[in-house]
Amino acid sequence: MTSDRIVFIGAGGAGLTAAFTIARKRPDIPITLFSKDPVVAYSQCGMPFVLDKKIEGFDKLVLYTPEVFKDLGLDVRTSTAVTGIDLDAKTVTIEGGETMEYGKLVIATGSVPFVPPVPGVGLKGVYRLLNLDDGRKLAEAMDNVESVVIIGGGPIGLETAPAFLDRFIDVTIVERMQQLMPSALDPDMTKMLEDHLKEKGAVLITGKGVDSINGEDKVESVSVGGETIHADMVLLSAGVKPNVELAKKAGIDIGPAGGIDVDEHFHVKKNGRALEDVYAAGDCIEEVNAITNRKVVCAIGTVANRQAGFLADELMGIGVPYGQVLCPAITIVGDLQIGSVGLTTRGCEMAGIKPVSFKAKSNTRARYYPEGKHLDIKLIADGQRIVGAQLIGKEGVHGRINELTLAIHKKMTPAELAAVETCYAPPVSPMIDPITYTAEMLSLRCKKLKK
Amino acid sequence: MTSDRIVFIGAGGAGLTAAFTIARKRPDIPITLFSKDPVVAYSQCGMPFVLDKKIEGFDKLVLYTPEVFKDLGLDVRTSTAVTGIDLDAKTVTIEGGETMEYGKLVIATGSVPFVPPVPGVGLKGVYRLLNLDDGRKLAEAMDNVESVVIIGGGPIGLETAPAFLDRFIDVTIVERMQQLMPSALDPDMTKMLEDHLKEKGAVLITGKGVDSINGEDKVESVSVGGETIHADMVLLSAGVKPNVELAKKAGIDIGPAGGIDVDEHFHVKKNGRALEDVYAAGDCIEEVNAITNRKVVCAIGTVANRQAGFLADELMGIGVPYGQVLCPAITIVGDLQIGSVGLTTRGCEMAGIKPVSFKAKSNTRARYYPEGKHLDIKLIADGQRIVGAQLIGKEGVHGRINELTLAIHKKMTPAELAAVETCYAPPVSPMIDPITYTAEMLSLRCKKLKK
């Protein structure tokens, strides 16, 4: 007799959310989740704001207690690593050698931080911020350091930088590319972000990689392009990569972007053939970019959460194709909001698209209304339709990114977007919305270039 | 020889903006604007916030000085009423009898407040808030009253109510319908607004009309449904109606909604036939609702401003059809934001559409992030596609209304909207956006009702 149990390897945004949904709608289906972490069901995205003391303590980030799992009939095994998958026997092996049979298997192993291959990266004092345990350790260590080097100008390090600065810790951010947040922003859109960090006292080094992390027992300095920067602590923020080791070991196909290759029903593949009863979802898979049609890795919480909805339906036998993605994202650095969706200029060029863009400096309120905030906005088109958007400001970014996501999803041209009605009141927007204005200007530029 | 002059009657949001656009792009075209008002080019929408002392003085609302008009070559005649239009002679007559020939005529006479036909409405102490002069008079009078009755639960009165309350003036709001903001909100969406006003000390009377305004020389009380309310002042906020007297006198067609009937190039009509050289735009016209295909009046600044762009192109010979409208709007009452777009439940019923709706109570931030604000949201579908949306909360309304405007404009179904990606960060949104959640629930409800 084969098992009808659904086994999840990983209980993060994708795995746990899908399991919850199934448990609520189909309590008859037995479900087991294995997680290496001692605590599951917490908000990863909230950690920088606990460090920044906006949120009181890491416990606030725990969304569900083990009692909730029990009430839902979910068998959640924390602190339990899965060490192997036997696709023929339809079993997983856990630490210690015990095996469990599965009816359906979901690989939701998430991502692992990219660790730059530099000497000293294993020294005491080098931190990362992926799970709750990392967060607690970092919080404790932070109170005893005077200087930190953040390696990588990506979202996690930048969101955490204010926590260091508010504690009067010297912060140096080192990014190998010529700019911060290179995967979300064009170089000419980073000024407000860089100014904000510099004003708060951070030192930014771009266009240079870290040569080594130095110290006897623990971090003492970091070498960057010949220069030595004193540092008591290093925080790795050089991005993440799909955690695919277990899948790879089982012979499951890994795609061109480095994630597990799945079809649009989340079935994994072996030698190019989809496996009926094995699925993967979340940060560990790659998906299809809606503009370029190319495979991408999009390791953000909302994407994993959204996949979980599709995956749960799939596992209950009522699935619909998952479709393609634009990966809209918003990053909060102090009181600055940085939003992006679709392709950057560099992303266009890498995909063979000739970008046409327009950038505007605008405001979040009527110009005569007090306390309006600067808003920088850039829209990018492929000459015909909008393919990317970037916004940065102290308010008014979130809703506009979602609106632009919808516009790109619906393949709108700049002219069409510029003609859409908008709402207005002096305390919350200018009469002509920055999106409307920028889309109008981009439309004129596209027209001009066509002539 | 015929004139090539464009003559505008009215220099508000529609007229002045169109004239500005033409003056910038085609300085060769002579333009004259007539306005009854002593000051033009000011923000009407900003007036409640001057009264509320958020903005320092009415002068801040003046966007352009007469020098700017002169520099642009615009002939702006303020404090000058047009008294007649001769369509055959192609002339307008101004106060005093002088006439001016036009090549093209634009009627942009705006709206006038609806004055309820009750005894005493002409008494001293009865105010309205339409133009800058009204605003200045009201501001001066406000400092010497102890109690006010606001007649009508529409946006202008509600936006002005906090200005009275902050001055410790007793405020009673009387609305003939059973609820505040009946044209924007469903009855079950007004609770947060009503609680907000009551908390600040306002008395709300709904479902009753004003019988009379009483007093000898000046307002002393207001009678409502047998009750007498003491009042030193009355503010009329019973809505506005298109100012069509001049057009009517010239024999121009008025449409079923009470506005000037124009075609999609803003040509007015006479006996059903479009006139080549006479246009109308702004609050004085009626337009076509994009969902019901019926004529509506939509007297808001953004609509007039948007029309101005289309009209300017039309007058320069490069016009495109104006299309239909959804009239998204946002009203600010104290620190509460009330947004709506498309049809209300009542609007659906009046148009013969059977509405299906879902209402959710949500939050503007992750639930563990401090200072998140309640957000009430309601989406309305016609069983198939989304036709209306209402949001109310202390933040996060503006961008969502614009996103929903786009969704309705693109004729999206609730299921399609629920599947669109959104961006997320704990300080600015919950993981699952309130729009996503509400659209998902509405989709399920629509499906259930179809069975």
List pLDDT tens digits, range B105-155: 999 999 999 999 999 999 999 999 999 999 999 999 999 999 999 999 999
Partner A contacted by B54 (CB < 8 A): yes
Token pair listed for A12: 């993060």
Chain A closest CA to B158's CA: distance in Å? 13
The pair of three-digit structure tokens given for residue A283, joined into one six-digit string: 């940060």
Topology of the domain comprising B6-112+241-315: FAD/NAD(P)-binding domain (3.50.50)
**pLDDT recorded at residue B373:** 97
Contacts of A122 (CB under 8 A, 6+ apart): none
Please calculate the CA angle B392-B397-B402 and round it to the nearest 5 degrees: 125
Which residue's structure tokens are 């008025």? B254
d(CA A147, CA A220): 10
Given CB atoms, is B430 within the 8 Å cutoff of chain A? no
Q: Which position has the token pair 């959104």?
A: B422
B45, B284, B327, B446: the active-site residue: B45
Contact A194, A86 (CB under 8 A): no
Q: Which residues in chain A touch residue B339, judged by CB atoms under 8 angstroms apart?
A: 423
Cα separation, A75 vs A269, whole angstroms: 27
Q: Residue A47: helix, strand or coil by DSSP?
A: helix
CB-CB under 8 Å, B45 with A398: no
CA distance B8 to B332: 31
Residues of B in contact with A433 (CB under 8 A): 402
Which whole number is the average pLDDT over B361-372?
Answer: 96
* Integer Rg of chain B from CA: 23
Q: Where are the beta strands (DSSP E) in B141-249?
A: 147-151, 170-175, 203-206, 210-214, 221-224, 227-230, 233-236, 240-242
The answer, yes or no, to whether residue A451 has pLDDT greater than 90, is no
Nearest chain A Cα to B434, which residue? A399
What was the pLDDT predicted at A66? 85
Contacts of B403 (CB under 8 A, 6+ apart): A399, A402, A403, A406, B435
The residue of chain B with its CA nearest to that of A58 is: B368
Fold entry, domain B335-444: Enolase-like; domain 1 (3.30.390)
Domains A126-238 and A335-450 agree in fold: no
Please answer whether residues A282 and A260 qualify as being in contact, where contact means their C-beta atoms are separated by less than 8 angstroms: no
Q: Which of B184, B207, B180 is nearest to B194 (CA)?
A: B180
In degrees and rounded to multiples of 5, residue A315 shows phi and psi of -70, -20
Quickly list H helices, B168-207. 191-199
Phi, psi (5° rounding) for residue B272? Answer: 85, -5
Residue B402 is nearest to which of A46, A305, A423, comparing CB atoms? A423
Kindly state the tokens that stand for A93: 């092996």
| Among candidates A401, A431, A433 on the partner chain, residue whose Cβ is nearest the Cβ of B423 | A401
Distance in Å, alpha carbon of B120 to nearest chain A alpha carbon: 33
- pLDDT, mean of residues A277-305: 96
Q: Which residues contact B195 (CB under 8 A, 6 or more apart)?
A: none
- The answer for residues whose C-beta is within 8 angstroms of residue B65's C-beta and 6 or more apart is none
**Chain A / chain B CB contacts < 8 angstroms:** 182
Any chain B CB within 8 A of the CB of A393? no
Question: For residue A294, what pLDDT band results from cuts at 50, 70 and 90?
Answer: very high
DSSP-assigned letter for residue A213: E
Query: How far does the CA of residue B352 sit from the closest CA of chain A (Å)?
Result: 25
Residue A2 has pLDDT above 80, yes or no: no
Give how far A107 is from chain B: nearest CA, Å.
22
Angle at B246 between CA B244 and CA B250, to 5 degrees: 110
B398 and A399 in contact by Cβ < 8 A? Answer: yes
Query: Treating both helix axes as pointing N-terminal to C-terminal, what angle do B398-409 and A398-409 enclose, rounded to 10 degrees?
Result: 10
- Residue A28 in tokens: 């008859």
**What are the residues whose beta carbons fall under 8 Å from the beta carbon of A288, sequence distance 6 or more?**
A294, A295, A296, A324, A325
Convert the pLDDT of each residue in A318-375 to its tens digit. Answer: 999 999 999 999 999 999 999 999 999 999 999 999 999 999 999 999 999 999 999 9
Catalytic residue among A45, A284, A327, A348: A45
Question: Nearest to residue A192, comparing CAs of A207, A180, A176?
Answer: A180
- CA dist A381 → A99, A281, A417, A442, B238 (Å): 52, 30, 12, 8, 45
- Among A residues 327-346, those touching chain B with beta carbons less than 8 Å apart: 327-332, 337, 339, 341
Residue A163 backbone phi and psi in degrees, to 5:
-65, -40
Residue reference for tokens 């006003």: B197
Yes or no: is domain A6-37+78-112+241-315 CATH 3.40.50.720?
Answer: no
Q: For chain A, what is the largest distance between any 2 Cα atoms, rounded to a whole number of angstroms? A: 74
State the CB neighbour count (10 A cutoff) for residue A24: 11
Contact criterion met (CB below 8 Å) for B285 and B122: no
- The answer to whether A377 faces chain B, any CB pair under 8 Å, is no
- The answer to whether B423 is a known catalytic residue is no
Is A402 within 8 Å of B422 when comparing Cβ atoms? Answer: yes
Subunit contact A398:B423, Cβ cutoff 8 A: yes
Mutation to test the B interface, candidates A305, A373, A406, A432, most B Cβ within 10 Å? A406
Specify the DSSP class assigned to residue B42.
B
- Give A-chain residues touching B328 at CB under 8 angstroms: 421-423
Out of B55, B327, B427, the one facing A368 most closely (by C-beta) is B55
Chain A residues with beta carbon closer than 8 angstroms to that of B398: 396, 399, 423, 425, 428-429
* Start-to-end Cα distance in chain B: 70
Give the A window 294-313 contacts with B, CB below 8 Å.
Answer: 300-303, 305-306
- Tokens 């002393």, residue located: B220
Using an 8 Å Cβ cutoff, are A191 and A98 in contact? no
Q: How many helices (H) and strands (E) does chain B have?
A: 12, 27
Nearest to A46 among B302, B400, B426 (CB): B426
Q: How far is CA A113 from CA A136, A156, A193, in A?
A: 17, 11, 23
Kindly give the pairing relationship between strand B260-261 and strand A285-288: unpaired
**Residue type (1 letter), B349:** E
| Angstrom distance (rounded) from CA A404 to CA A422 | 13
Nearest by CB: B49 against A326, A405, A427:
A427
Does pLDDT of B300 surpass 70? yes
Distance from the Cα of residue B331 to its chain's centroid: 9
Rounded percentage of chain A residues whose pLDDT exceeds 90: 97
Rounded to 5 degrees, φ, ψ at A339 are -120, 150
**How far apart, in whole angstroms, are the C-alpha atoms of residue B285 and residue B296?**
9
What's the pLDDT at B51? Answer: 97
The answer to whether the beta carbons of residues B6 and B22 sit under 8 Å apart is: yes
Are the C-beta atoms of B360 and B393 separated by less than 8 Å? no
What's the mean per-residue pLDDT of chain A?
96
- Pairing mode, strands A227-230 and A221-224: antiparallel
**In sequence order, what DSSP letters do the residues of B383-406 get, joined into one string?**
SSSEEEEEEEESSS-HHHHHHHHH
The answer, for A415 touching chain B at a CB cutoff of 8 Å, is: no
Contacts of B389 in chain A (CB under 8 A): none
DSSP label at B103?
A: S
| ipTM metric | 0.95
Beta carbons within 8 Å of B223's beta carbon, 6+ residues apart: B210, B211, B212, B213, B214, B229
Cα dihedral across residues B58, B61, B65, B69: positive or negative: negative
For residue B306, list chain A residues with Cβ-Cβ distance below 8 A. Answer: 421
What average pLDDT does this structure show over B370-384?
A: 97
The answer to whether residue A365 neighbours chain B at the CB level (below 8 Å) is: no
Q: What are phi and psi of B343, to 5 degrees?
A: -95, 145
- How far apart CA B126 and CA B129 sit, in angstroms, is 11
pLDDT of residue B5: 97
Q: A residues 15-44 near B, CB within 8 Å?
A: 43
Report CB contact under 8 Å: B425, A305: no
Please tell me the distance from the alpha carbon of residue A18 to that of residue A31, in angstroms, as a whole number.
Answer: 11
Write the DSSP string, A361-413: EEESS-TTSTT--EEEEEEEESSSSEEEEEEEESSS-HHHHHHHHHHHHTT--
Question: With an 8 Å Cβ cutoff, are A405 and B426 in contact?
Answer: no
Interface check for B89 against chain A (CB to CB < 8 A): the answer is no
What would be the CATH architecture of the domain defined by A126-238? 3-Layer(bba) Sandwich (3.50)
CA distances from A335 to A49, A192, A332 (A): 11, 12, 7
Predicted confidence (pLDDT) per residue in B14-23, tens digit: 999 999 999 9
Query: Where does the pLDDT of residue A65 fall: very low under 50, low under 70, confident under 90, or very high at 90 and above?
Result: confident
Q: Give dist(CA B151, CA B175) in Å, integer.
A: 6
User: If DSSP codes are grouped into helix, strand and coil, which group holds residue B99?
Assistant: strand
Does the CB of A410 have a partner CB in chain B at under 8 Å? yes
Residue at token pair 């560099």: A346
* Cβ-Cβ contacts under 8 Å, A423 against chain B: 302, 328-330, 339, 341, 398, 401-402, 405
Least Cα distance to B285 among B49, B15, B90 occurs for: B15
CATH of A335-450, one of 3.30.390.30, 3.30.465.10, 3.40.980.10, 3.40.220.10: 3.30.390.30
What are the residue boundaries of the structural domains of chain B, listed by start? 6-112+241-315, 126-238, 335-444
Contact A421 B54 (CB under 8 A): no
B53 touches chain A (CB under 8 A): no
Contacts of B425 in chain A (CB under 8 A): 45, 330-332, 337, 398
% pLDDT > 90, chain B: 97
What is the biggest distance separating any 2 CA atoms in chain B, rounded to whole angstroms?
74
